[in-house]
Amino acid sequence: MSTTIQVSRKTLQLLNILKEKLSVKSYDELLRKIAFEKLGVKSMFGSNPKLSPFRKEDEAEFHEL
């Protein structure tokens, strides 16, 4: 799913400069990179506190055909 966001021309210029400087291919990749840096995370994997911890038994369940 994609969406459109509205930014000023000045913000677009800044995003273009950062996109080139950080060698990313899309604005989505750029914004994710900035968000992850600001949040201090490398991945959102395991970030939902409502989920129970992963168990070894769960792994076997997912690998069975």
| Any domain includes 64 | no
pLDDT of amino acid 62: 57
Q: Tens digits of per-residue pLDDT, 3-57?
A: 899 999 999 999 999 999 999 999 999 999 998 888 887 655 555 566 666 666 6
pTM above 0.75, yes or no: no
Residue with tokens 């966001």: 5
| Any domain includes 61 | no
* 22 touches 30 (CB < 8 A): yes
Which residue range forms the structural domain that includes residue 6?
A: 1-43
DSSP secondary structure, 28-47, as one string: HHHHHHHHHHHHT-S--TT-
| Any domain includes 15 | yes
For the chain, how many structural domains are there in total? 1
* 50 touches 62 (CB < 8 A): no
